[in-house]
Structure formats: structure tokens, C-alpha cells
Amino acid sequence: MIAAGTMVLDGQVRRPGWLETAGGRILACGGGAPPRPVDADFPDGTVVPGFVDMHVHGGGGASYTDADGITAAAEFGLRHGTTTTLASLVTAPPAELLAGVRALADATRRGVVAGVHLEGPWLSRARCGAHDPAQMRDPDPAEIDALLDAGAGTIRMVTLAPELPGADDAIRRFRDAGVVVAVGHTDATYEQTEHAVALGATVGTHLFNAMPPLHHREPGPALALLRHPGVTVEVIADGVHVHPAVVRAVIEAAGPERVAMITDAIAAAGRDDGAFRLGAVTVDVVSGVARVRGTPTIAGSTATMDRIFRTVHAQAGLAVAAQTTSATPARALGLERVGGLCTGYDANLVVLDGNLRVAAVMVAGRWRGAASAATG
């Protein structure tokens, strides 16, 4: 039995609130005083659903492209409240990409991450961002089938540029395999993006970044993604990738149920400034901002989900912050029983202190790491 001064239960803010866990699930929850003596009480704390990061490359010095770093990267995210991680791979040669998928598929089966996100290699060279343009290629049915076989059901999302030759067939193939298709790193027109959505694309990868800017005569992919009610748009609310006023405008335009906050974090998250790698690309971090060496191009972020949560909370309030960091990304990925504090859901939660910093984390009904000490 857990009680707190504030809880976000089933999307509603309760002051106070309580929830009861059993067998790794939420047995019951409600507002007001708990029905029996509590096991953990946070009278000055706020309990929110565990964060769901649907686009992240690493953290704490570790990367999801390195088989030996997968667990460390996931544990770093967990310390910052991310209880569900979709591990992202960047553009790489075919054999290297296959090896990366196999390693993450094994990590998914072990419960370390919730699945794989292929961000590339089927991207626009004109909008490559921090990806290696020399390794970008058009979608190839044989490569797609090989990756799906290697993933064995663990590939949950793929980002591709819909204007590439073969993209239509790729979207259909991935959708048939139950993979969420995201439009990103693209030079597509408004019409090409609409076509991709009609074929089954349902996510916009880090909206506004690595795509043409919105123009009143050539609206491009951003407006097409924003306007479609069946599309969830990712936003990196780190204060670097997207201006705070634009973050607010996106939430107001699309609604929090269609906006998924992501970190797009790389291994540099949680580390001091310095040199890092993102796949084959060298990245320099200066004052916490990652850029491709020798260029002004932003290369992922150094953000964590708790930091993103605090940013959104300051702009849009507690309920919206909880929705966009948990329920919306969970729904976009088709994940069941995560993303909310509701009866029957997995007992994944984050306890935040008075400054909205992580005080404790629970995964499947178990306090993790130092969290157990925080509850006494």
C-alpha cells in the first residue's frame, strides 16, 4: 500500500492518493485516505506513472548500439524514472545493424528493454542529422525481412523517409508485421507525408527536427503529421531541439494524447562535456549540447525523462506532463498495461520529491536500486 500527497491516477490528479500493488500489478487505487495502513508514505511527494521513453540511444556513458552497454544504458534511464524503454539503433551497415537487432532482441526477452526502434537506415541524406549519410540506403525487401527475422517480434518501431524509392512497400511490410511506422529524417512534401499516413504511418519522429521547416506555401511533413488525428508526434522538450513556445503550441494543437515526449538521448546523457560516438559519427558535447563534430548539427540530446517531465510540467501542468511522458508513448507503441496508474496495470511508478526530482522508482511492484531505501 502506497500513499502520497499527490498522485496521478488514471490520468487524474488526486490529492492525496493511494494505490495497492500485488503480484507486480496495481490491485486498486483511489483518491483520499488509503483504506488500510500504508507500507510506503510520501506525504510531500508526487507519484506518477513510470516514464516511457520511445526514442533513446543511450545514457550514462553507455549506448544501445553496443551489446555490452545495453543493461547499463537501461539502468541509467531507470534511475531517472524511465521504467519502459524502446532502445533506438542508428543507421549502420547491414551486418552491424543485424547484430544490433539481435543483441537488443535478447535484451527485450530478458526484460531489460521493451523493444527495438530502427531509426534508419532508410532515411533522407538531405536530412541525415547525426546519422552517417554514407550508410543510408533505400528500403530493400530482403534486408527488411532479415531484420524482422533477427528481431523475432521485438522490433516495435521503425523510422523512415517516405519519399524514398520502395518506401510504400516498406511501410506495408512493417505494418503487416505489427511494427509501428514513423515518418522522420525526411525531405518529404506535405502530400508525400499524407500518403505515408494513409498507408499506415502513425508516428512523427522528433517533430520539426530533421525535416523541412513549416512554410505557408510548402507546409511539408510537420503540418501533415500535426493535422492527422491518428498520428502521435514525438517532441524533444530539452530546450535545445524545440523552442518552449513551440512545445506549448504543439500540445495545444494536437492535444496531449497525441504528443509523446522523448529524450533522444545518447551515451553523453548524465556525463560531463566531451567527445562521444553515435554509431559511426563523432559527437562533441559542449555545455550539455551534443553536436556532430565540426558542424552545428544537433546530435541527439543529453536529457533524461525526469528533466523532460519537469519542463513540460512548468509549461502545461502535472496531468499533461504525466500524459505525454507515459500514457501517450505507451499507446503509440501499442504497449499494454503500462503508461498509467490504473487497476490491472503493471506497478511501474516514479515518486518525485517537492522539486519534482526522482526520489524512488518501482518496476513491476518492486522498488529498484536506492529507491528501497527512500521508502524506509
Yes or no: say if 232 and 255 are a contact pair by the CB < 8 Å rule.
Answer: no
Q: Tell me whether residue 119 is annotated as binding.
A: yes
pLDDT > 90 fraction of the chain, expressed in percent and rounded: 97
Looking at residue 210, what is its pLDDT? 96
pLDDT at 180 over 90: yes
Helix axes 190-199, 167-176, angle to 10 degrees: 30
Is residue 283, in this structure, part of any structural domain at all?
yes
Q: Tell me whether residue 249 is annotated as binding.
A: no
| Residue 369 pLDDT class (50, 70, 90 cuts) | low
Mean pLDDT within 302-318: 97
Same domain membership, residue 304 and residue 260: yes
| Residue 327 pLDDT class (50, 70, 90 cuts) | very high
Beta-carbon neighbour count of residue 25 at 10 Å? 16
pLDDT digits (tens, 9 = 90+) for 65-103: 999 999 999 999 999 999 999 999 999 999 999 999 999
pLDDT at 371 over 70: no
Same domain membership, residue 183 and residue 289: yes
pLDDT digits (tens, 9 = 90+) for 22-44: 999 999 999 999 999 999 999 99
First to last CA, the chain: 13
Same domain membership, residue 357 and residue 344: yes
Looking at residue 165, what is its pLDDT? 98
Yes or no: say if 82 and 50 are a contact pair by the CB < 8 Å rule.
Answer: yes
Beta-carbon neighbour count of residue 312 at 10 Å? 26
Q: Tell me whether residue 217 is annotated as binding.
A: yes
Supply the CATH number for residue 354's domain: 2.30.40.10
Is residue 126, in this structure, part of any structural domain at all?
yes
List 41, 53, 264, 306, catalytic entry: 264
Neighbour-count burial for 292-307, b at 16+ CB within 10 Å, e otherwise: beeeeebbbbbbbbbb
Is residue 160, in this structure, part of any structural domain at all?
yes
Same domain membership, residue 112 and residue 149: yes
Same domain membership, residue 205 and residue 122: yes
**Domain encompassing residue 9:** 2-48+340-368
Q: Tell me whether residue 298 is annotated as binding.
A: yes
SS3 347: coil
Looking at residue 166, what is its pLDDT? 97
Cis peptide preceding 121, ω within 30 of 0: yes
| Residue 250 pLDDT class (50, 70, 90 cuts) | very high
pLDDT at 376 over 60: no
Q: Tell me whether residue 251 is annotated as binding.
A: no
Is residue 375, in this structure, part of any structural domain at all?
no
Same domain membership, residue 243 and residue 127: yes
SS3 100: helix
Q: Tell me whether residue 130 is annotated as binding.
A: yes
Is residue 100, in this structure, part of any structural domain at all?
yes
Q: Alpha-carbon torsion 147, 181, 65, 48, what sign?
A: negative
Same domain membership, residue 165 and residue 256: yes
Number of structural domains in the chain = 2
pLDDT digits (tens, 9 = 90+) for 233-246: 999 999 999 999 99
Looking at residue 325, what is its pLDDT? 98
Q: Tell me whether residue 243 is annotated as binding.
A: no
Is residue 374, in this structure, part of any structural domain at all?
no
Same domain membership, residue 124 and residue 234: yes
Mean pLDDT within 190-203: 98
pLDDT digits (tens, 9 = 90+) for 275-288: 999 998 999 999 99
68 is catalytic: no
Same domain membership, residue 106 and residue 247: yes
Looking at residue 85, what is its pLDDT? 98
To the nearest 10°, report the CA torsion of 23, 103, 105, 60. Answer: 50
Is residue 376, in this structure, part of any structural domain at all?
no
Same domain membership, residue 241 and residue 138: yes
Is residue 42, in this structure, part of any structural domain at all?
yes
| Residue 373 pLDDT class (50, 70, 90 cuts) | very low
Mean pLDDT within 124-128: 94
Same domain membership, residue 119 and residue 89: yes
Same domain membership, residue 239 and residue 219: yes
Looking at residue 374, what is its pLDDT? 41
Supply the CATH number for residue 174's domain: 3.20.20.140
